[in-house]
Structure 1
Amino acid sequence: MFIQRLAILGVGLIGGSLARALKRAQVCAEVIGCGRQLDNLQEALRLGVIDHYTTDIAEAVRDADVVVVAVPLGQMASVFSSIRPALAPHAIITDVGSAKASVVEEAYQHLGEHLGRFVPAHPIAGTEKSGVAASFASLFENRRVILTPLAETDPQATALVTQLWQHTGAEVVNMSVEHHDEVLAATSHLPHVLAYSLVDTLAQMEDRREIFRFAAGGFRDFTRIASSDPKMWHDICLANRSAILHVLAQFNADLAELADAIEHGDSAHILSIFSRAKMARDKFSG
């Protein structure tokens, strides 16, 4: 695989890390970056993440072989609508959105004749940091990237996007749109909702200064992801609200069960929950 011209729309942690990884793998001749923040684009150029930049989205995708849409979910519809007239007939479009149903719906609405070359994707990788300065080439190594190709998606487009991510060191798997959103609601979206909610609860307590003063490693580990971009996670909650609400309801029921056990001093039930959770966590962490 070789990409002559790659357009990255949204040169942040994910878009920037993808550009770095593909440059390192020497499978891309030219990377065009596009975004709204001029200072971030200039930083991307200075760091060598991109070769050129523009704030004109149509100019960015013109003559591009591959277009990666790495903008927040709330901007997907406007981006698809804006790039459609400027896309080359052969251009392959993909994205990195954390919720797929909303992205796919907007692709159906706005990509028109280019829909067959659209390959929805989601790299399961990231940090709590944002911006191109936080990007690094090895972000996707030994991580999974989920593709959710549509019935209309050209198999050759799916094959190219698969190779693209494999060149970053990632394992690529295919999944249905619906299953992706259910799985990610449980494994990614719910933990972020809980982290934000816990920190917000503690921050509103009267003795919050003492609480944060004596917070130790456990608090820091559990709440690290609450330092993620709030706007991005706001968009994810709205885009995948049905699946998130479903798993949140299950969590609330389990939390109420634990609260009841604590209230009634049910030692065996508390220990059973904690032991079961430890076994599952240990198995997951290898």
Structure 2
Amino acid sequence: MRIGLIGVGMIGGSLLAAWRQAGLVTTASGYDIDARALAAAQALGLVDRGAATVADAVADAELVLVATPVGAMRGVFADLAPALPDSALLADVGSTKSGVIAEARAVLGKAFARFVPAHPIAGKELPGVEHADGGLFAGKRVVLTPTAETSADATAKVEALFARTGARVERMDAAEHDRIFAAVSHLPHLLSFALVAAIGSEPDGERRLGYGGAGFRDFTRIAASSPVMWRDICVANRAALGAELRNYRDLLDRLQQAVDGGDAAALQRTFELAARLRRSWANPSDER
């Protein structure tokens, strides 16, 4: 299969690596605004040809994969629409779906029927194609959010391609996707960024950070993720994320009252609920 990759980063590079391992790639063209990323992808053998423009990257593709930050996708869709071959499949890997779908619908024209929105639930906190990993998706979920206008044939083909990475592919309504991932992905990233920024901005912030142990390292691992990517995700999913953030602040207010009042029982109730839910999530068989 001839693949055109727009946005040569860790996720896009990992998908190319996985599809190469599965024997699916005949040639891969890539485009990225960062010439160094494109050169690195070629040096790693992930991309065969670096393209000077989006249109050039997709000109003879059978599959076009858009793996840019979500804030850049409307412009990418507009650039590729005139050059997209009539039979080419189109997919994205953005972490938000409703806004991406609206932007694709606005500019893709007839090609919108061949656009299959996708979100691989896998990743690393380290951005960049140099961290691409062909085994990244094995056993992980990939969520597709096709619309009523999406071709059933296109959806089935894209589903099969993601399955070849070893992923478990599911389908979901885009609005439901955005509500769920606001809670379990977008809010945790925002909180991780916020905690490190809050501590680091104190006069003795660097000294405090130097004493962080395993728990702090676990909680803040994702604060090393791409700021640009997560800026765009938070803005794109701001309605759902804002609702989750308000709910979280309400709980923090209650915990503040419990701490200030020395209410050990209230603290323990919250901690016990959280511990039970966390154990159930990590070891679902224990709760069956």
**Superposition TM-score tier, normalisation by shorter sequence:** over 0.9
For 1:182, the aligned partner's letter is R
Any idea what SS the aligned residue of 2:91 has? strand
Any idea what SS the aligned residue of 2:202 has? coil
Name the residue aligned to 1:9: 6
Q: How does 1:175-254 map to 2 (within 5 A)?
A: 175-254=172-251
Name the residue aligned to 1:129: 126
Name the residue aligned to 1:85: 82
For 1:204, the aligned partner's letter is S
Alpha-carbon distance in structure 2 between the residues aligned to 1:39 and 1:223: 28
Q: How does 1:63-212 map to 2 (within 5 A)?
A: 63-212=60-209
Structure 1 residues without counterparts, runs of 5 or longer = none
Alpha-carbon distance in structure 2 between the residues aligned to 1:261 and 1:69: 47
State TM-score, norm by structure 2.
Answer: 0.97
The counterpart of 1:42, out of the listed 34, 39, 42, is 39
**Equivalent pairs, count:** 283
The CA deviation string for residues 123-174 of structure 1, in whole angstroms up to 9 with x for no partner, is 0111111111010101111110010001111101000110111000100000
Structure 2 residues without counterparts, runs of 5 or longer = 284-288
The CA deviation string for residues 11-32 of structure 1, in whole angstroms up to 9 with x for no partner, is 1100000000000000221111
Alpha-carbon distance in structure 1 between the residues aligned to 2:60 and 2:194: 45
- Provide the aligned C-alpha RMSD in A: 0.8
1:61 and 2:62 matched: no
Residue 119 (structure 1) shift: 0.4
Contact 1:140 1:169 in 2 (8 A): yes
Residue 204 (structure 1) shift: 1.3
Name the residue aligned to 2:286: none
Residue 96 (structure 1) shift: 0.4
State TM-score, norm by structure 1.
Answer: 0.97
Contact 1:33 1:53 in 2 (8 A): yes
The CA deviation string for residues 233-272 of structure 1, in whole angstroms up to 9 with x for no partner, is 1101110000000010000001111111111111111111
Larger displacement relative to structure 2 (15-24 or 201-210): 201-210
Alpha-carbon distance in structure 2 between the residues aligned to 1:22 and 1:58: 22
Identical-residue share of aligned pairs (%): 42
